[in-house]
Amino acid sequence: MLNLTSSNPHVATWLNHIHALAVDIGPRGPTRPGERQGALYAQAQFEKMGLKPVFETFLSARSIFHPHLLGSCLILLAFALFPLGGWITALLAALLSIFVVVCELLELSFQNNPFRKIVPKGESQNVFAVIPPAGEHRRDLVLVGHLDSQRTPIIFSTKRWVKIYDRFTMVVFASLILQIIVYCAAIFFPIAWAWYATFPTAVCAILLAAMCLQAEATPFTAGANDNASAVGMVLSLAEEFTTQPLQHTRVLVVCTGCEEVQHYGMIDFYKRHQNDLKKPTALVFEMLGCAGPAWLTKEGIIVPFKADQRLVQMAERLAAEHPEWDAYPATASGGNTEMADALRCKIPAITITGLTKDGVSPYWHQLADTFDKMNPEVMEKSWNMTRAMIDCIDNE
């Protein structure tokens, strides 16, 4: 490993946290021991700062791929049922297909659904601390970085594969809608070609199942950029605000578990604590070690989520005032950040990220996502932009 450091003390501290997570601990799969070690590291760092961290456990799915594997199997079951018994099995196949679509849409919207009750579970955890303001408490700011890292399937291995994966998800969804339409029509009308028309859906389901099985057979990444860089940012900001608190903003520094399995940690945090927040705003950090800084205007897989417009305008204004940052807007297609969880709770939110200008997530879910890829110069720009945004929020 390269002995990366920076003359900027904040970035130097930030790099030390990334090294501890991605090198000393290593892969941090959701609900796995590495993720727990990462949480204990964050807890220890908060305690060193004189904070009183809260360690909360919750049950989570163990893989993002399990619900989609289950969905693909049910699609194939509907396909097999359809031709067996006239309108009765046509009805059963249509209902089963509708069930899959509803569950998938709820899953992609981070909402409870029957799939979440079926898939294997494990224990995960969030760690957070609260930093009071120096003066009157007027608002809350939630700073978020996730501890866990993802597996390394072929669909994330190259830019081309990521694009294929993004398009494939759209094709699968469209083919399933077609299957529902055809099967519903066949309940009432004798359509001889109905079953054959859904062969493409069956092929998509087989490919989806194969994709999920291949992903489950791969190792977890060390996750330096995704997302030790974000946890390092949260820990570094916590140290900053412990010694120099904001004037009117209480800061909640949150390190979440199981973001990589549809945000179980962030969902659990807001479920427990949203009612305790005062005029909250959320800043979410994703992949800040290699490129950027950028801010997300929109993200999502099938279901879109748009950043709070006020925060987008703030980022635009600050970027225009500081051309030395070379900051820019970005969109994330085929993925989500924990910005979506805040938005679902009606909390204004935006994600500061390290997507490249052409929309690439460096080393996203790849074995190459290691500490030596960190870029201190880029990280300093991200730090400066983040601090400027936080100061703007505090001064509102």
State in words which class domain 9-62+121-152+219-395 has: alpha beta
Q: Cα(first)–Cα(last) distance of the chain, in Å?
A: 43
Structure tokens at 228: 């030790």
Residues 30-35 have a mean pLDDT of 98
Residues 160-188 have a mean pLDDT of 94
pLDDT at 2: 56
- Report d(CA 366, CA 393) in Å as an integer: 35
Is the confidence at residue 183, as pLDDT, over 70? yes
Alpha-carbon torsion 165, 170, 175, 177, what sign? positive
Query: 65-81 and 159-188 are packed helices; what angle lies between their axes, rounded to 10 degrees?
Result: 30
Residues 312-316 have a mean pLDDT of 98
39 Cα distance to chain centroid: 17
pLDDT more than 70, % of the chain: 99
Pick the range with the lowest mean pLDDT from 61-70, 113-122, 296-305.
296-305
Is the confidence at residue 47, as pLDDT, over 60? yes
Report which residue type is found at 350.
I
- Report d(CA 171, CA 180) in Å as an integer: 14
Q: What is the pTM of this model?
A: 0.94
Residue-wise pLDDT for 202-258, tens only, equals 999 999 999 999 999 999 999 999 999 999 999 999 999 999 999 999 999 999 999
Nearest to 45 by CA among 256, 245, 295, 235: 235
Q: What is the average pLDDT score of the chain?
A: 96
Residue-wise pLDDT for 350-388, tens only, equals 999 999 998 899 999 999 999 999 999 999 999 999 999
Q: List, by residue range, all CATH 3.40.630.10 domains of the chain.
A: 9-62+121-152+219-395
Structure tokens at 144: 């978020």
- Report d(CA 12, CA 23) in Å as an integer: 16
Angle at 98 (CA atoms; ends 96, 100), nearest 5 degrees: 70
Is the confidence at residue 268, as pLDDT, over 70? yes
Structure tokens at 333: 């297609």
